[in-house]
Amino acid sequence: MSLNARFAVISDLHIALPQTIWDIPNRFHLVEISIPALELVFNHLEQLNLDFLLLPGDLTQHGEPINHDWLQRRLSQLPYPVYVVPGNHDVPTLLPDERSIGLKDFPHYYHQFGYDNPDQLYYTREIFPGVQLIGLNSNQFDQTGKQLGCLDAPQLAWLEDVLAQTKDKLIVVMVHHNVIEHLPSQSKHPLGRRYMLDNAPTLLNLLKAAGVNLIFTGHLHVQDIAYHQGIYDITTGSLVSYPHPYRVLELRTDNLGNRWLQIESHHITSVPGWENLPEISRKWMGDRSHPFMVKLLTAPPLCLPQHDADKLAPSLRNFWADIAVGDTYFDFPDFPPPVRRYFQTFSAMDSNGKPAFIDNHTTLLLE
């Protein structure tokens, strides 16, 4: 089947109405600009004749009912279909409390945006002729109420059935947590693994067996495209965090029947009151970076002593901001050789160590 479609991805909106905003001193993202930034994106997308829009989670600041209600009403006004999945911030507790909705409440807010069955936190539907979307829920809770990032057994069994029954279509998977590593040893690192799906290998095996090669994720707040054994995990940075990105994608079929996915990234550069948004948000992130960078330096594999980490951390002030942009090459020539080599591994390079700038603007062959 010849597939030709245009769609967009906006991730980690963290919508916060003004009366709901609460400050966390070390947060990197600016929920204060969530609504005006989203409106600017919508203004742009309404000019593009989109076929659909994907929102891979963290739709709200922290699961507030009023923020979920505002967003679902705003999405219902758009001239194209929208599909969502929950992020960890959307359902921070198993049961509703004084601040947020509970896990099972999520489908009731978004029944127009994928959730035909209000009693199920995952879904599948044909969103364009020949394109089947599978929306997964990666939010679970253990017996103590701790939030986990994984797929439960009933969902995996359901997914296996769906994959077996879906023939001759391009299958697109959307889930909040990362499925393929976007950072070096992300699934093992104490700072990186919280952004990974705990049972990612199980999901990847199912998708690989079914010939699925497209996953859209969020959560990490960076622009990155990762590849593993025929599968792309396209993660999109947060709209409310530097560099305030979103993506517009073109799915095309050539004369030989090959399918191509062209990806273009766009950025919000100004909203009222935040006229130089990139400069402000980059500084905001840098001002809060020291504790994070010290943790990175003192954690495995570097395990630097505290005094060495404190000495190097100021040079890494903008490291996470540069990770978030994507397509960045890193080198800190004044660092000790092992530390220098470690940070070089975060550079945008292919498996042969050559520059590979594909995180923002690229065209992928879907084999």
Q: And the tokens for 164? A: 């077996």
Predicted confidence (pLDDT) at residue 264 exceeds the cutoff of 90: yes
Residue 128 pLDDT > 80, yes or no? yes
1 pLDDT more than 70: no
Return the residue matching tokens 């999901």.
203
Across-strand partners of 329? none
What pLDDT is attached to residue 367?
A: 79
Average pLDDT over residues 271-280: 96
| d(C-alpha 99, C-alpha 64), whole Å | 6
Three-state DSSP state, 264: strand
**pLDDT, mean of residues 136-154:** 97
Place of tokens 């954690």: 299
**Omega cis (within 30) before 301:** yes
Report pLDDT digits (tens) over 248-259: 999 999 999 899
User: What tens digit of pLDDT does each residue of 150-176 get?
Assistant: 999 999 999 999 999 999 999 999 999
pLDDT value, residue 24? 79
High-pLDDT (> 70) share of the chain, %:
100
Q: Which residue has the higher pLDDT, 31 or 1?
A: 31
The pLDDT of residue 69 is: 98
Q: Does pLDDT of 198 surpass 90?
A: yes
